[in-house]
């Protein structure tokens, strides 16, 4: 009888273990991490990460066997069901000059690919990238350039030709400057609707990223991929490890209000 009970308990434990594994697998979201500024303002801005913290985070990915991929390659990787485990993509929004002066040298040194989403209307302004810098990074083999709309517009409030100019028009401008096709788009402020998504698809982008649309939204919608903003709280590598695990999106969505 004791052996029978032990057998039953072992079967139950195994079933629960398998069920737990399958449940956790179902919550996995490919981590796409989002930066803005890499500068010394992290004490006063949630959109800043210090250069020292950024380099520690990149070395953490490099030294711990993460499969850092180009964002534009994710659609094909996901079709092959290879986007599990330590697959991750690195992105930057807005196209600040410190992406070139502080982040790019680290990424180039470590050989880690990343995507910088630029706003053509901001290029050349104070504290923003120049076209020469954009072209240099694009030619490096490390940095992919994406669009963040023509003027950092709130796209949910745009329709028709205005929407097309922000999405398709920005693509044409960037491609004309860098001499190659671009395939990724980032919704400014994370705002999008069905019309904006349709415009992104018509323009020929392979993938588009938002921020956090909420737990009721699909985990892997290629036209509105979820991302995780990296800020000062990620200075602690334990936090950064949790955020890049693929399960932090589930944690965040069940912790925060939609």
What does the alpha-carbon distance between residue 78 and residue 236 come to, in Å, rounded to a whole number?
30
Q: What is the pLDDT of residue 2?
A: 56
pLDDT digits (tens, 9 = 90+) for 10-62: 444 433 333 333 334 455 789 999 999 999 999 999 999 999 999 999 999 99
Q: 32 Cβ partners below 8 Å, 6+ apart? A: 71, 74, 88, 89, 90, 91, 209, 225, 226, 227, 228
144: left (phi over 0), alpha (psi -120 to 50) or beta: beta
Q: What is the pLDDT of residue 28?
A: 79
pLDDT digits (tens, 9 = 90+) for 113-147: 999 999 999 999 999 999 999 999 999 999 999 99
Q: What is the pLDDT of residue 219?
A: 75
The yes-or-no verdict on residue 216 having pLDDT over 80 is no
What does the alpha-carbon distance between residue 67 and residue 70 come to, in Å, rounded to a whole number?
10
pLDDT class of 249 with cuts at 50, 70, 90 = confident
53 against 212, higher pLDDT: 53
Q: What is the pLDDT of residue 84?
A: 62
Q: What is the pLDDT of residue 33?
A: 97
Q: The tokens of 33 are what? A: 């991490």
- pTM value is 0.88
Q: What is the DSSP string of 152-189?
A: ---GGG--HHHHHIIIIIHHHHHHHHHTS---EEE-GG
| CB-based burial label for 156 (10 Å; 0-12, 13-18, 19+) | middle
Please tell me the CATH superfamily of domain 31-255, with its number: Glycoside hydrolase/deacetylase (3.20.20.370)
């Amino acid at each position: 009888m004791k052996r029978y009970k032990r057998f039953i308990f072992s079967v139950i434990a195994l079933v629960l273990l398998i069920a737990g594994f399958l449940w956790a697998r179902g919550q996995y979201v490919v981590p796409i991490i989002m930066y803005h500024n890499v500068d010394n303002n992290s004490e006063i801005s949630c959109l800043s990460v210090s250069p020292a913290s950024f380099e520690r985070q990149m070395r953490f990915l490099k030294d711990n066997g993460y499969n850092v991929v180009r964002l534009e390659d994710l659609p094909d990787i996901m079709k092959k069901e290879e986007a599990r485990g330590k697959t991750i993509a690195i992105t930057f929004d807005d196209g600040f000059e410190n992406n070139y002066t502080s982040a790019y040298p680290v990424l180039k040194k470590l050989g880690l690919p990343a995507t910088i989403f630029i706003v053509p209307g901001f290029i050349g302004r104070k504290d923003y990238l120049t076209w020469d810098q954009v072209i240099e990074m694009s030619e490096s083999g490390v940095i992919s350039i994406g669009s963040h709309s023509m003027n950092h517009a709130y796209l949910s409030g745009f329709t028709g030709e205005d929407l097309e100019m922000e999405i398709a028009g920005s693509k044409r401008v960037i491609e004309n400057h860098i001499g190659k096709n671009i395939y990724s788009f980032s919704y400014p402020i994370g705002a999008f609707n069905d019309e904006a998504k349709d415009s992104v698809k018509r323009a020929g982008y392979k993938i588009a990223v938002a921020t956090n649309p909420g737990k009721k939204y699909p985990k892997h919608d290629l036209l509105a991929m979820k991302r995780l903003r990296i800020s000062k709280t990620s200075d602690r590598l334990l936090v950064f490890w949790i955020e890049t695990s693929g399960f932090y999106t589930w944690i965040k969505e069940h912790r925060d209000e939609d």
